Amino acid sequence: MRGRRTGWSAAGIVLLAGVTLAMPALLDRYYLSLLTESLLYGIVALSLDLVWGYTGIPDLGHALWFGTGALSVGMMTTKLDPTGLTLGVYGGLGRHVAGIAIGMGVAAGVATVVGVLSFSQGEADPFYIAIVTLALTVVAATIYGQTSSWTGGDNGLFGFAYHGFSGRTWYYISAALLVAVTSGALVLVRSDFGLVLRAIRDNERRVRFFGTNVEAAKLGVFVSAPSSRRWRAASTR
């Protein structure tokens, strides 16, 4: 029976790989771009599942971490007029990569500060974490709107996707990254650390009683999840 299940799993993987490889030949440019974005949002969903679904941290500020990378790349590669309207786009792959790295650092840094202040309170109420992350998102949105000469304000920044790769190349890159992130997430949740995360979600007090550093585990997954998605900005907008 186990061998049969393994065979079906292998056949499913082969079929999925075949469909994934065939998509660029079956879809036009517009629908292929939508599928590419869907793959990227899948990575975001996986990271949120690790934070909220497996660890029980209600992160209502996940969109903030998600947008930091796009904003950092956009600010480094666009020229704006005083009202925040995008006048032009410049910079090659190196500038985009630098923007992604800065976005990762900023997102990780802010998440670390929020995590340390939140999780150092011991058995922090999940409602408290939800309020903190939601409030942070509201504050960030206000700052974003008030600094339109840098961020574009209500107009936003646009046109700064790296055009050195074709739409088909971005699709394959996104598919490969989704597979890599999914594989890594599966390894993580099936590991001892993944077991600790689920235990924290189900009964934090008992996990703490057995001597586990609950704050460190929470902080690790809370910081690593937002900082792992900033590369997305180079392929969109």
* Contact criterion met (CB below 8 Å) for 168 and 25: no
* Contact criterion met (CB below 8 Å) for 73 and 103: yes
For the chain, percent of residues with pLDDT exceeding 70: 88
**pLDDT above 80 for 65:** yes
Compute the Cα dihedral for 154, 155, 161, 166 and give only its sign. positive
Give the count of alpha carbons within 13 A of 11, CB side only. Answer: 6
For residue range 169-210, what is the model confidence (pLDDT) as tens digits? 989 999 999 999 888 888 988 888 888 888 888 888 888 888
pLDDT score at 176:
92
Question: Rounded CA gap, 173 and 115, in Å?
Answer: 31
What's the gap between Cα 235 and its chain centre?
14
For residue range 90-140, what is the model confidence (pLDDT) as tens digits? 878 888 888 888 888 888 888 888 888 888 766 667 778 888 888 988 998
pLDDT score at 121:
65
Q: Compute the average pLDDT of residues 82-95.
A: 80
Question: Three-state SS string across 141-160, please?
Answer: HHHHHHCHHHHCHHHCCCCC
* Contact criterion met (CB below 8 Å) for 44 and 66: yes
87 sits in which H/E element: strand 86-89
pLDDT score at 233:
44
